[in-house]
């Protein structure tokens, strides 16, 4: 590795912040340049919803717990307690009573989810061949020739023991595992993460391992007016088949429904889940990366990075970024009111300020040197 090309955490203050392009921003930019500019914390205005959506709370708790589990060997339940404590310290004081109750509920969901994840690891042996080198590592790679700094965060760096191959691990918390599996091959992010790891460690990256975890709650199956559990649970059920079966039986018991009847009602779903097995809830997907694809993706990334920088520059000069082409497809956008106001020529900044809030703080980085020491095959 040629040290001068890479900046580590202590030098962050010297980075040209306005030229930093975060890999994770690409998808947000592609989906809607306007929302990206308003919400991006690095190149944009850094607004976020006043209340964190459930999936963000759950995702961050799970990510942090996995980080501690894989890096320090902290048991998952203890790791989650730490994650919950940190999250509570940061957000708890400003939560309303209703939010606090919801937060407690999400913590329980995360607890069950990780408990099931732990069982799945033991059954599947998914980690048996992996050495975890580091987790949640932020990198900044200045590229003078392109006048940008490529930034991003690897969820994990792992080495496969049997082959010695270096892999990026990405945790993906999602409502729907099959859909997530379908979507990953179209993502630019893993290729750029692989490109970055090759730059930093000066050795080939064999691939990206997606650690996909469903975030649905097996215990919150909605009940119909007649007291029966809704059949619509299939799309939202979480974690393991075992948990799903237990839930059905528990619901049936609470409602005084014979267990056989409840299971009969769900026969189709159970058959489906039996076929899908654990892959409904936890899944490892390994994507190999070839040098050619990484290189071509990198050039595509640089082009998009320049588009993003130009969009941000023009936005700072008062040119509103283009919206997503079809607003009917973005009803859940937290910036929707401001977006509609902007198109009508109204004061959208005032609406942004009143309906959203500014982000604050950034995650910590890990020095590249400490990573090198942990990589056994450098």
Number of residues in contact with ligand SF4 under rule CB under 6 A: 11
Per DSSP, the residues of 104-173 read HHHHHHHHHHHHHHHHHHHHH-TTTTEEEEEEEEEEEEEEGGGTEEEEEEEEEEEEETTT--EEEEEEEE
Choose between 35 and 103: whose C-beta lies nearer to ligand SF4.
Answer: 35
How far apart are the C-alpha atoms of 245 and 265, rounded to whole Å? 12
Taking CB under 6 A as the criterion, which residues in 293-332 touch ligand SF4?
Answer: 323-324, 327, 330
Q: Using CB under 6 A, which of the segments 162-170, 297-305, 306-314, 333-341 binds ligand SF4?
A: 333-341
Tell whether residue 110 is a contact of ligand SF4 (CB under 6 A): no
Residue 92 CA, chain-centre distance (Å), reads 22
How far apart are the C-alpha atoms of 346 and 35, rounded to whole Å? 17
In this structure, are residues 62 and 372 in contact, taking their beta carbons and an 8 Å threshold? no
Structure tokens at 349: 């900044």
Least distance from ligand SF4 to the Cβ atom of residue 211, Å: 28
**In the stretch 339-358, what mask flags binding to ligand SF4 with x, by CB under 6 A?**
x-------------------
Choose between 93 and 331: whose C-beta lies nearer to ligand SF4.
Answer: 331
**Nearest Cα to Cα of residue 70 among 157, 152, 198, 153:** 157
Choose between 234 and 336: whose C-beta lies nearer to ligand SF4.
Answer: 336
State which of residues 61, 110, 251, 335 lies at the interface with ligand SF4 (CB under 6 A): 335
Choose between 292 and 325: whose C-beta lies nearer to ligand SF4.
Answer: 325
In this structure, are residues 21 and 308 in contact, taking their beta carbons and an 8 Å threshold? yes
Choose between 21 and 333: whose C-beta lies nearer to ligand SF4.
Answer: 333
Taking CB under 6 A as the criterion, which residues in 255-274 touch ligand SF4?
Answer: none
How far apart are the C-alpha atoms of 166 and 4, rounded to whole Å? 23
Q: Using CB under 6 A, which of the segments 106-114, 172-180, 213-221, 334-342 binds ligand SF4?
A: 334-342
DSSP state of 229: B
Which segments within the chain are labelled E, that is strand? 20-22, 47-49, 130-143, 148-160, 166-174, 205-214, 282-288, 356-358
State which of residues 83, 252, 333, 352 lies at the interface with ligand SF4 (CB under 6 A): 333
Least distance from ligand SF4 to the Cβ atom of residue 335, Å: 5
Least distance from ligand SF4 to the Cβ atom of residue 325, Å: 8
DSSP state of 223: B
Tell whether residue 40 is a contact of ligand SF4 (CB under 6 A): no
In this structure, are residues 150 and 299 in contact, taking their beta carbons and an 8 Å threshold? no
State which of residues 8, 23, 32, 371 lies at the interface with ligand SF4 (CB under 6 A): 32
**In the stretch 163-192, what mask flags binding to ligand SF4 with x, by CB under 6 A?**
------------------------------
Positive or negative: CA dihedral 264, 265, 270, 272:
positive
Least distance from ligand SF4 to the Cβ atom of residue 182, Å: 22
Q: Using CB under 6 A, which of the segments 30-38, 128-136, 239-247, 269-277 binds ligand SF4?
A: 30-38
Cα dihedral 5, 11, 15, 21, rounded to 10, equals 70
Least distance from ligand SF4 to the Cβ atom of residue 47, Å: 11
How far apart are the C-alpha atoms of 265 and 259, rounded to whole Å? 10
Structure tokens at 32: 């809607």
Choose between 32 and 237: whose C-beta lies nearer to ligand SF4.
Answer: 32
DSSP state of 217: -
Tell whether residue 45 is a contact of ligand SF4 (CB under 6 A): no
**Nearest Cα to Cα of residue 75 among 84, 86, 66:** 66
Distance, first Cα to last Cα, the chain = 10
Tell whether residue 30 is a contact of ligand SF4 (CB under 6 A): no
Least distance from ligand SF4 to the Cβ atom of residue 362, Å: 24
Tell whether residue 79 is a contact of ligand SF4 (CB under 6 A): no
State which of residues 35, 52, 140, 206 lies at the interface with ligand SF4 (CB under 6 A): 35
In the complex, which residues of this chain contact ligand SF4 (CB under 6 A)? 32, 34-35, 323-324, 327, 330, 333, 335-336, 339
């Amino acid at each position: 590795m040629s040290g001068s090309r890479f900046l580590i955490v202590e030098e962050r203050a010297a980075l040209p912040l306005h030229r930093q392009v975060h890999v994770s921003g690409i998808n947000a930019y592609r989906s809607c340049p306007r929302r990206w500019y308003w919400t991006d914390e690095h190149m944009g205005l850094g607004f976020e919803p006043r209340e964190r959506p459930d999936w963000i709370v759950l995702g961050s708790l799970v990510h942090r717990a996995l980080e501690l589990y894989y890096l320090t060997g902290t048991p998952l339940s203890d790791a989650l307690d730490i994650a919950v404590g940190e999250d509570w310290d940061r957000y708890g004081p400003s939560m309303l009573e209703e939010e606090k109750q919801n937060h407690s509920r999400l913590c329980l969901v995360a607890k069950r989810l990780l408990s099931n994840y732990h069982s799945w690891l033991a059954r599947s042996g998914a980690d048996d061949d992996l050495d975890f080198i580091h987790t949640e590592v932020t990198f900044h790679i200045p590229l003078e020739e392109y006048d940008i700094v490529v930034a991003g965060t690897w969820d994990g760096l792992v080495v496969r023991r049997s082959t010695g191959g270096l892999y990026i691990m990405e945790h993906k918390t999602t409502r729907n595992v099959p859909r997530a599996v379908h979507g990953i091959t179209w993502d630019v992010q893993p290729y750029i993460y692989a490109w970055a790891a090759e730059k930093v460690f000066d050795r080939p990256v064999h691939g990206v391992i997606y650690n996909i975890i469903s975030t649905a709650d097996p215990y919150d199956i909605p009940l119909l007016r007649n007291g029966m559990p809704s059949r619509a649970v299939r799309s939202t059920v979480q974690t393991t088949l075992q948990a799903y079966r237990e839930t059905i039986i528990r619901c049936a018991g609470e409602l005084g429904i014979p267990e056989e009847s409840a299971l009969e009602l769900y026969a189709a779903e159970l058959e489906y889940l039996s076929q899908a097995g654990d892959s409904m809830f936890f899944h490892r997907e390994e994507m190999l990366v070839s040098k050619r694809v990484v290189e071509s993706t990198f050039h595509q990334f640089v082009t998009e990075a320049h588009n993003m920088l130009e969009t941000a520059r023009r936005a700072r000069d008062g040119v509103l970024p283009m919206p997503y082409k079809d607003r009917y497809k973005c009803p859940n956008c937290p910036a929707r009111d401001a977006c509609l106001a902007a198109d009508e020529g109204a004061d959208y900044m005032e609406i942004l300020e009143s309906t959203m809030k500014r982000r604050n703080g950034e995650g910590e980085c890990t020095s590249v040197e400490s990573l090198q020491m942990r990589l056994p095959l450098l």
